[in-house]
Amino acid sequence: MEQRLTIVALGVRNLEESRAFYGVAFGWSETKSSNESIAFFQLNGMLLSLYPRDKLAEDAAVDPAGSGFKGYTLAYNCRSKVEVDKTINYLRLHGADVVKEPQEVFWGGYSSYIADPDGHLWEIAFNPYLKLDDQGNIIPE
């Protein structure tokens, strides 16, 4: 099996609210594949999709109930601590719930967390051990 991740699908309570959050707070544009039932955002070599939580659970044949920490986070890496601060300030102004203010962290980076309308956690971080290319892709070691 090839090492790759092609789509991250987030189950959402309200598709239109989540569409607006990622469109406004993150400033991302949907792809042409989006429709009234699902939203797709093209990221670096992969897609983020938003799909109604109950429908996603049905598709996976699992119970849609669940709350609290989901056991994963998504990450947006910045090129500097200053960029983390600017990104968090921008997201806060556009309605993001900042659940952890930017701060120095034990592993040597600088990190903050926000939550989307469904509580999906995004780490906004500067990791001095990861280098990013001009498109924001991680440069392999």
Residue 69 has pLDDT above 80, yes or no: no
| Stated pTM of the model | 0.84
With a cut of 80, say whether residue 2 has pLDDT above it: no
Tell me 108's DSSP state: S
Query: Is the CATH number of domain 74-126 3.40.140.10?
Result: no
Q: What percent of the chain has pLDDT over 90?
A: 67
The predicted pLDDT at position 30 comes to 96
Please check the confidence at residue 67 and state whether its pLDDT lies above 70. no
For the chain, the domains span: 7-59, 74-126
For residues 54-79, average pLDDT: 82
Residue 134 pLDDT greater than 80, yes or no: yes
Cα 105 to Cα 39, 60, 84, 116, 127, distances in angstroms: 34, 36, 13, 22, 10
Is there a shared CATH topology between the 7-59 domain and the 74-126 domain?
Answer: yes
The answer to which of 29-38, 40-49, 50-59, 75-84 has the lowest mean pLDDT is 50-59
102 neighbors 111 (Cβ within 8 angstroms): yes
CB of 11 within 8 A of CB of 64? yes
Looking at the domain 7-59, which fold is it? 2,3-Dihydroxybiphenyl 1,2-Dioxygenase; domain 1 (3.10.180)
CA distance 94 to 100: 16
For residues 78-90, average pLDDT: 97
The pLDDT-based confidence of 56 (bands split at 50, 70, 90) is confident
Say what the pLDDT of residue 122 is.
94
